[in-house]
Chain A
């Protein structure tokens, strides 16, 4: 060091002297911010060093700290991964729960606005097999599920129950090759048979070439198969081919009920036909207000006035139950046993209908007298004289009973006069032959406006009715309660409205007037007994069911069903647009007035719909003639498909 200083002594002294003077200078001088240079220099000299030292310190400590933190981060990362996985599972579970809740809500909503009694079920499994189109649901015979019941979803039909076990039920899907259901197109009302093919698409068979079906058209259940009530969506047409080598169109339909998966379904326990909507179904939630009182609309419509206060409380059960209860009371009050008397037995006096709780007193004769039928003499004739031995009452019962029936059915307006029906052209099935005798015609016409009338009778009712029909009392009551009390003509026995399922379980859903009849294998034999009945007491028994069939079955335009034989105002009914039924073989209940206008009193309902009705060779077309006792229907329907082969 000493050597170094000696060697560089001069320059060292120079630097020291200069440095000293610089310090002296810095002490004096201030910068523009009034800070002495010595301070500025000191700070400028020290802070970089401090910065470097801080950098080293931070880097060192930071490295250590980051290393420790990274070690903790690894643990935390693993823990968070586990938590994320658990939360994902939870989210999936909750999403499934939410989806289930949505489906349940949709089903509840659908059940709320559908008149059929349904039972919700869940699909719990599928039947083994590669091409199996069968699923198991968690509803069993203990829940009331029976073989043959339809299974639907809010989107459409799904299938039908083919076996009900004590713990579950087996459902054949709509896509199964053995599945078939009667369908009708929305636009052109073309009937056909929906069949599964084992593929996602189904086909609609037995649609003639001359029918107009286009892709995009919707098919709805027609109710002919007695499995699905009328008016449920079946599917939308995907393709239509006219293969001249075959007899019918080749129509492929995409089932709507299976589009959104199949997890929750509804089993139709008690089918109620409903009209086919004017517009295709939309999968959009719709708010439904609480249902109004059942009887109020009917009374208002029928009477044109507000219903009595006491009538607001309608009896529980279906419309058929209500009507059945009323006429049972009438029979019991008069000591009449339905179905027990021989042909020609005097029927109960239905003019003395009791006033049931919540029921309005039966309309009196003036109501019937005011019926439009009086304009053409139908009412007068029918009411007074033409009821004959079959109709116990004159025009008054004729007016009353249908009125009641309409009311009981929940909306048949003005059955006394049938004027509402006449004034209201049924858009779907206008009353055909001017059945002047048929107050039921009014009752039938009413369903056009209020489809509630299309109540499928319960099995019990059916059984009773069948027995009563054999009695042939000519009373409307048995007929009304008994769909089996079909028109006497053999061809009419298979009328959907009057048909009774062999098992007695299946209520005979009323086939539409222009629709195909129930499968030929279904009609009970007892109903066919009074075949060819074209008048007289025995026929009256048969005709009565025909007249009253609309109560238990779907409304059929022009169906003569008035128990009293009171003529419907045929002249004013839209049925005039259709060719009258074939020659009336005889006024069954004396309600026939002008033959030209009232073709037949006993004419089966579908006889009055010649335009849409078509005799089918499969189901015995003769029986489906417009007039129950008329062998030849003047106007064969053009779209009567063959009997629907149902697998039951």
Chain B
């Protein structure tokens, strides 16, 4: 972890290390994130502003440094998220999370995703990207005239970024050591 604090960009692909996770981690963490997204807001309304599935997708995509794995994780989590929502057709969150996982994996190949600040920025960025993409798709595909409140989006992005950095720090403990 020490090196990650010294620099952000990787000098070569050999410096990038693919984090490996146990299988149950790859299965339980997303399920836990989706369940949190569904269950917790019933008791803590402020929890609805957290996008835990998105943060989990970003994290695994960054850590796996594989675009295919990242988009698959994103598609899976997204479809699961859509499946649990009655009003949202299947594929809305799936497409958005697929793109997020793809781009997150792509960025993970170039950046040192163990850097805390970078994680903060990436979480903020991908949250905003997630919101914008959803808004666009909702308007384009569903014809829903949703309003995009940029200020609230930024605040929520910042909140999720902070939560994401903490979450990432917790998930780093679940990856296998090299």
Asked if B89 and A13 make an inter-chain contact with CB atoms under 8 angstroms apart, the answer reads no
Cβ–Cβ < 8 Å partners of A11 in chain B: 67
Mask: chain B, 76-115; 1 = CB below 8 Å from A; 0 = not: 0011000000000111101100110010000000000000
Interface centre among A10, A14, A26 (most CB of B within 10 A): A14
Known: A24-B90, A25-B89, A29-B142. A9 touches B98 (CB 8 A): no
Asked if A25 and B98 make an inter-chain contact with CB atoms under 8 angstroms apart, the answer reads no
**B125-168 contacts to A (CB < 8 Å):** 141-143
Asked if A18 and B141 make an inter-chain contact with CB atoms under 8 angstroms apart, the answer reads no
* Interchain nearest-CB distance for B165 vs A (Å): 27
A31-B75 Cα distance, complex, nearest whole Å: 24
Q: How many residues of A contact B (CB 8 A)?
A: 17
Is the CB of A44 closer than 8 A to any CB of chain B?
no
Cβ–Cβ < 8 Å partners of B78 in chain A: 21
* Interchain nearest-CB distance for B176 vs A (Å): 24
Is the CB of A17 closer than 8 A to any CB of chain B?
yes
Asked if B71 and A14 make an inter-chain contact with CB atoms under 8 angstroms apart, the answer reads yes
Is the CB of A22 closer than 8 A to any CB of chain B?
yes
* Interchain nearest-CB distance for A29 vs B (Å): 5
Is the CB of A37 closer than 8 A to any CB of chain B?
yes
A11-B98 Cα distance, complex, nearest whole Å: 11
Asked if B71 and A22 make an inter-chain contact with CB atoms under 8 angstroms apart, the answer reads no
A22-B131 Cα distance, complex, nearest whole Å: 18
Asked if A32 and B143 make an inter-chain contact with CB atoms under 8 angstroms apart, the answer reads yes
A18-B71 Cα distance, complex, nearest whole Å: 9
A14-B143 Cα distance, complex, nearest whole Å: 24
Cβ–Cβ < 8 Å partners of A28 in chain B: 89-91
Asked if A9 and B89 make an inter-chain contact with CB atoms under 8 angstroms apart, the answer reads no
Asked if B92 and A25 make an inter-chain contact with CB atoms under 8 angstroms apart, the answer reads yes
A444-B69 Cα distance, complex, nearest whole Å: 140
A13-B73 Cα distance, complex, nearest whole Å: 13
Mask: chain A, 3-36; 1 = CB below 8 Å from B; 0 = not: 0000001110110011001101110110110000
- B71 interface neighbour in A13, A24, A31, A32, Cβ under 8 Å: A13
Asked if B98 and A21 make an inter-chain contact with CB atoms under 8 angstroms apart, the answer reads yes
Asked if A18 and B67 make an inter-chain contact with CB atoms under 8 angstroms apart, the answer reads no
Asked if B67 and A21 make an inter-chain contact with CB atoms under 8 angstroms apart, the answer reads no
Kindly report which residue of chain A lies nearest to residue B103, judged by CB atoms.
A14
* Interchain nearest-CB distance for B145 vs A (Å): 12
Asked if B141 and A29 make an inter-chain contact with CB atoms under 8 angstroms apart, the answer reads yes
Cβ–Cβ < 8 Å partners of B94 in chain A: 21, 24
A9-B89 Cα distance, complex, nearest whole Å: 28
* Interchain nearest-CB distance for A12 vs B (Å): 10
Asked if B141 and A37 make an inter-chain contact with CB atoms under 8 angstroms apart, the answer reads yes
Asked if A14 and B98 make an inter-chain contact with CB atoms under 8 angstroms apart, the answer reads yes
Cβ–Cβ < 8 Å partners of A25 in chain B: 89-92, 95, 141
Known: A25-B90, A25-B91. A10 touches B98 (CB 8 A): no
Cβ–Cβ < 8 Å partners of A21 in chain B: 75, 78-79, 90-91, 94-95, 98
Cβ–Cβ < 8 Å partners of B58 in chain A: none
Is the CB of B56 closer than 8 A to any CB of chain A?
no
Cβ–Cβ < 8 Å partners of A13 in chain B: 67-68, 71-72
A10-B94 Cα distance, complex, nearest whole Å: 17
Kindly report which residue of chain A lies nearest to residue B137, judged by CB atoms.
A25
A24-B89 Cα distance, complex, nearest whole Å: 8
* Interchain nearest-CB distance for A43 vs B (Å): 16
A-B contacts besides A13-B68, A13-B71, 18 pairs, CB < 8 Å = A10-B67, A11-B67, A14-B99, A14-B102, A17-B71, A17-B72, A18-B98, A22-B141, A24-B89, A25-B90, A25-B91, A25-B92, A25-B95, A26-B141, A28-B89, A28-B91, A29-B89, A29-B141
What would 6 A/B residue contacts be, using CB atoms closer than 8 Å? Answer: A9-B68, A10-B68, A13-B72, A22-B141, A24-B91, A24-B94
